[in-house]
Amino acid sequence: MKFNNKIIEMWAKWFVGNAVTAIVVIGKSPFDFSGHDWKQAANTIWLAILPVVVAWANPKHNLTLTKSKSE
């Protein structure tokens, strides 16, 4: 069994989208962020995991944690 890289791909797409959204919503350049702003932006890390978990839990979606050697 090998690790399924589609999980990493899906998480990375959601993470980038959430990170850009967090920067736009905070309304500042990341160079001007305060400590509180960075904490808010850091929530995108765990928030990006939710769509991956939902897709994994959906029996109609073929996202699995591992893939067989034949794939």
Per run of 10 residues, the mean pLDDT along the chain (length 71 residues) is 75 87 88 90 81 79 62 53
Q: What single-letter DSSP state applies at residue 66?
A: E
Indicate the SS3 state at residue 41.
helix
Specify burial of residue 52 (Cβ count, 10 A radius: 0-12, 13-18, 19+). Answer: buried
pLDDT of residue 15: 86
In whole angstroms, give the CA distance from residue 46 to residue 67: 24
Q: Say which DSSP state 63 is in.
A: -
pLDDT of residue 35: 92
In this predicted structure, what is the pLDDT of residue 34? 92
Cα 3 to Cα 17: distance, rounded to the nearest angstrom = 24
- pLDDT of the residue at 40: 85
